[in-house]
Structure 1
C-alpha cells in the first residue's frame, strides 16, 4: 500500500521481527565496515573492556533500517532519508542477542521549501531479548504529499 505524508500520525508505531546476531554476523560486518579488534578478534576482545566480541554500533544502525523496511512502515512509499539526530549506543550488543526495532512517529511537518513533500520524524529504539535498550536515534524522512485529484 502506498502511503502519503498525510497518512502518518503522531504516535503511530511499528515493531520489527526479532533478529539474532551471531558472532560470525558481527565479525563479518566489522571486517568490512568497522575493523576494530573488539568487533573482529575474539581473543583480543576477550581481553578488552567488554570481555568479548561486541557488534559495531553502525551494524545496529544499519540493521534497524533493514528491519524497519521489512516491517513495512512506509509501505510502498518512496521515502528519502534526510538525516539522523540523537544517535546513541546505550548498551553493547553481543553474539546471541535477539534484537527488535520499534519506530514511533514523533512529528510531522510540511517541507519548508518543497510543499510536495512532508518530513516525518521517527524515534527508533532497538532493544534486546531482555527488553534493554541498546540503541536510540531520531530519523528524518522526506515523504511525498498526497497529489491533488
Structure 2
C-alpha cells in the first residue's frame, strides 16, 4: 500500500507498506488515495429502490427534470461508495478497531451515472486514547471529486486503530 504525505518542505513522498498498518503509521498530514470508482446507473437504481426511492434516483427522465440534471446517486449511496474506497485504500490494511462516528458529511454536487470518483483521505488529528490503552484515534477529512474535478462529497470522522506493540507488550505476552 502506498501512503502519500508531504514532508516538512511540502514535497510529496510515498511510504510503501507491506504489513498491516498501526496508529503510528498515520501521522498528521498523511494523504490516503481513494478510488477511482465508476458510478454505475444500475447500482444507483438498485440502491435507491432499497434505501432512498426518490424519483431522481430511480429514473433517468425524472433525474433530468430535477435540479440534479440526470440519474443521480442518493447521497447515502455516495457515502457508501466513499466508505468502500476507504476500506479498499487503507482500513482493511490497518489494525482498525472501528469508528466512534462521523462529524459531518456534505454533498457538494450531484453524483451522476457514469461519473468517475476519486480523492483522498487526509489525517488531520492523531492521538492516543487514555481510556483505551493500546488504541489511537485518527481524525480524517475525506474528499471525492468527479472526472471534471468537481468536489462531490466532503466528510470528516474519527477511526480507532491499534497502536504498535512495544517490546514491553511482547514480553508481557510471553509471561
| TM-score, structure 1 normalization | 0.91
Residue pair 2:33, 2:120 contacting (<8 A) in 1 also:
yes
Residue pair 1:89, 1:135 contacting (<8 A) in 2 also:
yes
Aligned-residue Cα RMSD (Å) equals 1.6
Q: Distance in 2 between matches of 1:39 and 1:114?
A: 42
User: Which residue number in structure 1 is paired with residue 153 of structure 2?
Assistant: 135
Q: CA deviation at 1:91?
A: 0.4
Q: CA deviation at 1:56?
A: 0.6
Residue pair 1:128, 1:134 contacting (<8 A) in 2 also:
yes
Q: CA deviation at 1:73?
A: 5.2
Shifted more, 126-135 versus 36-45: the winner is 36-45
Return closer, same or farther for 1:13/1:74 CA change in 2, 3 Å cut-off. farther
Out of 130, 140, 143, the position equivalent to 1:122 is 140
Q: CA deviation at 1:115?
A: 2.2
User: Which residue number in structure 1 is paired with residue 21 of structure 2?
Assistant: 3
- Summarize the alignment of residues 83-122 of structure 1 with structure 2, pairs less than 5 Å apart: 83-122=101-140
Q: CA deviation at 1:45?
A: 2.4
Write the deviation string for residues 44-97 of structure 1: whole angstroms up to 9, x where unpaired.
223222232211111111111111221235614233121111210000111111
- Summarize the alignment of residues 37-48 of structure 1 with structure 2, pairs less than 5 Å apart: 37-48=55-66
User: Which residue number in structure 1 is paired with residue 83 of structure 2?
Assistant: 65
| TM-score, structure 2 normalization | 0.78
Residue pair 1:87, 1:138 contacting (<8 A) in 2 also:
yes
Bigger relative CO (Cα 8 Å, ≥ 6 apart): 1
Shifted more, 45-54 versus 93-102: the winner is 45-54
Q: Distance in 1 between matches of 2:111 and 2:86?
A: 18
Task: Give the aligned length.
Answer: 149
Gaps of 5+ in 1: none
